[in-house]
Amino acid sequence: MSANLWISSHCNKWLYSAKELENIQKKDQNLSKEEMDHFYFYFNELISVVGKEINTRQKVISTAKIFFRRFYVRNTPTSYDPWIVAPTCLYLSCKTEEMRIKARILRNAVFAFACDWPYTCKDLFNCEKYLIKSLDFSLIVFHPYRPLLHYSKEINFPTEHIEIATAVANDCYHTDLYLQFPPYLIAIACLYITCVKNRIDPLKWIADLSVSIDEVAFITSKILKFYKKSEEFSKTNQIIDKILEKLSK
């Protein structure tokens, strides 16, 4: 695995401008932008619940969520059933993050989320092949956790503040920020939000970094926008059937 973000496939293949993402999202006209947000939120939750059911690490869950987003950059939800794609992303993530798990155990964990899940282990294996191909065999994923800890040490963040910033970083996987910006910028935005929440002036240490303040501000605003919509996402379970029904037409 490449240890350098700048020469990795993560940076050179899987980061898009806002305009590029907008054009990609227009590929599937069956769903509105709001419906797609609910779509991603629901299947991110599936990945989280199943991941916890099999006692995997947060990094494995986060990688699976990135795989899921990347897959639907290249494919549409109308063409490939997210009910098999999401568990397959988790299955592949377990391998790439060196936590192998038997397909049978994963299948049983999915049943805990959806007792009528119609797929088999063979379906997982077949979907895994196509998933890897859709990802261009580029399975490298960088996360904000390491830079977040690095910057936290520089500003002497207490443990409880680091935990808040990490929780914010985890929530960012519900957005498309990881398809737009390198993880270290997202880490800085998460720390900025934590500073403001705890009445700590973040501007001095951010000014000392060689980063775009405008980009950090944009990321911050997008995270806050997600939190403002949290009440809407509480209704996702109530409307997901209608969304999936639209995809099947």
Per-residue exposure over 147-183, b if at least 16 CB sit within 10 Å of its own CB, e if not: bbeebbeeeebeeebbebbbebbbebbbbbbbbbbbb
Region(s) of the chain under CATH 1.10.472.10: 5-134, 145-232
Residue range 145-232, CATH number: 1.10.472.10
Mean pLDDT to the nearest integer, 187-214: 87
The domain defined by 5-134 folds into Cyclin A; domain 1 (1.10.472)
**Helices H / strands E in the chain, number of each:** 14, 0
Cα distance between residue 9 and residue 20, in whole Å:
17
Residue 144 in this model has a pLDDT that exceeds 90: yes
Write out pLDDT tens, residues 85-97: 999 999 999 999 8
- Which residues does 32 contact at the CB level (< 8 Å), separation at least 6? none
- Count CB neighbours of 190 within 10 A: 26
Write out pLDDT tens, residues 1-39: 456 777 777 877 889 888 888 887 766 667 888 888 999
Q: Give the range among 99-103, 124-128, 129-133 with minimum mean pLDDT.
A: 99-103
Q: Tokens for 200, please give them.
A: 């700590």
pLDDT in the model for residue 44: 96
User: Three-state DSSP class for 77?
Assistant: coil
Place of tokens 């629901």: 42
- Entry pTM: 0.92
Is residue 226 within 8 A of residue 173, CB to CB? The reply is no
Is residue 202 within 8 A of residue 147, CB to CB? The reply is no
Write out pLDDT tens, residues 115-126: 889 999 999 999
Cα distance between residue 229 and residue 25, in whole Å:
19
Q: Tokens for 163, please give them.
A: 């935990």
Place of tokens 């980009």: 215
Amino acid at 58: Q
Kindly list the distances between the CA atom of residue 108 and the CA atoms of 41, 119, 176, in Å, as whole numbers in the listed order: 22, 11, 29
Q: Give the range among 171-180, 196-205, 218-227 with minimum mean pLDDT.
A: 196-205
Q: Tokens for 196, please give them.
A: 């403001």
Mean pLDDT rounded to a whole number for the chain: 90
